[in-house]
Amino acid sequence: MSDTPMVPPFDPETAPYDGDEAAVVSWLLDYHRHVLLRKVDGITDTQARATIAASDLTLLGLIRHLAVVEQYWFGDVFLGSDEPSHWDDPDDRDRDFHPLAHDTLADAVATLRSEIDRARQITSSTSFDAMAVGRREDRPVRLRWIMVHLVEEYARHCGHADLLRQSIDGVTGD
């Protein structure tokens, strides 16, 4: 592992407490993105595959899953793109959670960061009221719904990541 942190600093004191809806939701989503990436900072590929209890959930799987989530909501739904999903496998619907032996944490983090960059480009120049080009279950979707849903998705999985990381090396906290 490199001595260079995987996660740039994030200052929680910059929260837009008096911001409009778009600023607040965007900040909360970025905060949870930061927390998730911080949970894998400094761990090895072996540790990234550690599970707890009867679950097959791993930090590597969570990073990969959230890359797919970002790709789906901002690429497929919002932009209406038809790009193949990362780690697509017709025989394993949850392939993002089931890495193969050659899959690495560094590659997964790079993919997630790329998807986050695309999402930030979209949201920085698009109204919260904008309608997606694509649809979800044949229904129209606003950017507002996508953003709030991703805050929920990240928050839930950051809780999972906290439990996993604590079981690996005792590191806790947001």
Where are the alpha helices (H) located in the chain, listed in sequence order? 21-39, 45-48, 59-70, 105-124, 143-169
If you search the block for the tokens 């949850």, which residue do you land on? 94
Q: Which two tokens stand for residue 42?
A: 């400094």
pLDDT level of residue 2 (50, 70, 90 thresholds): very low
Residue 96: strand, helix, or coil: helix
Mean pLDDT for 162-167 is: 94
Q: How far apart are CA 174 and CA 170, in angstroms?
A: 13
Give the model's pLDDT for residue 62.
Answer: 97
Give the model's pLDDT for residue 8.
Answer: 56
pLDDT level of residue 148 (50, 70, 90 thresholds): very high
Nearest CA to 71 out of 55, 59, 60, 83 is that of 83
H or E, element range at 36: helix 21-39
The per-residue pLDDT of the chain, averaged, comes to 91
Nearest CA to 149 out of 64, 78, 85, 60 is that of 78
Phi, psi values for residue 173, rounded to 5°: 100, 165
What would the pLDDT profile of 117-129 be if each residue is shown by its tens digit? Answer: 999 999 999 999 9
pTM of the model: 0.89
Percent of the chain residues past pLDDT 90, beyond the cut: 76
Residue 78 has pLDDT above 50, yes or no: yes
If you search the block for the tokens 């209406």, which residue do you land on? 80
What would the pLDDT profile of 29-68 be if each residue is shown by its tens digit? Answer: 999 999 999 999 999 999 999 999 889 999 999 999 999 9
